[in-house]
Amino acid sequence: IGAGITTRSYYVMLKFAASIALSTTILLSPTPAFASGKVVSNDLGKCKSGAGPAVLINVSGIKESNGTMRVQNYRGTSSEWLKTGAWLYRVEAPAKTGNMQFCLPVPSAGTYAVAIRHDINANGKTDIFGDGGGMSNNPSINIFNLGKPSYKKTAFNVGNDVKSINISMKYR
């Protein structure tokens, strides 16, 4: 393949680049194609017991305290998962190295999925060699699904209370 790059290393790099490129491109949509998208503040008080329905997202592995974290939730259906503008709620916050928590409301009990993008340089563009991403249930991302795992792998159920989930960030 190239000097010093093994075939396995090449495919690992290609797999990761494809996953970040697709998932971050989808998260860049500034205006929703669906009328339901709403930007909200990261009010953790709305994720206290009895305050639901909502999703408390525990994010780990944030690479650095630069840039912006963008967290979006979607209905966990094939017709809406990662579709441009189909997100329900979005939180944007300055990134902090290590772990962060986010609270996103959901309209009612049901099946949902979450996608996160770390725009490290806060330029609003997809930088596949620097930006990071993550999704609910931490699905495997590979070259075959081009960074867009099935809604079945990312979906989770939310009742009338607060559902806590964990997402591990992935970077190149």
What is the average pLDDT score of the chain? 84
In the three-class reduction of DSSP (H, G, I as helix; E, B as strand; rest coil), residue 7 is classed as helix
Residue with tokens 């009742």: 159
Q: What's the chain's length in residues? A: 172
Q: What global pTM score does this model have? A: 0.79
In the three-class reduction of DSSP (H, G, I as helix; E, B as strand; rest coil), residue 150 is classed as coil
* The three-state (H, E, C) secondary structure of 55-103, written as one string: EEEEEEEECCCCCEEEEEEEECCCCCCCCCCCCCEEEEEECCCEEEEEE
Rg (CA), the chain: 16
Tens digits of residue pLDDT in 4-37: 656 555 444 545 444 444 444 444 444 434 556 9
Residue with tokens 């190295």: 97
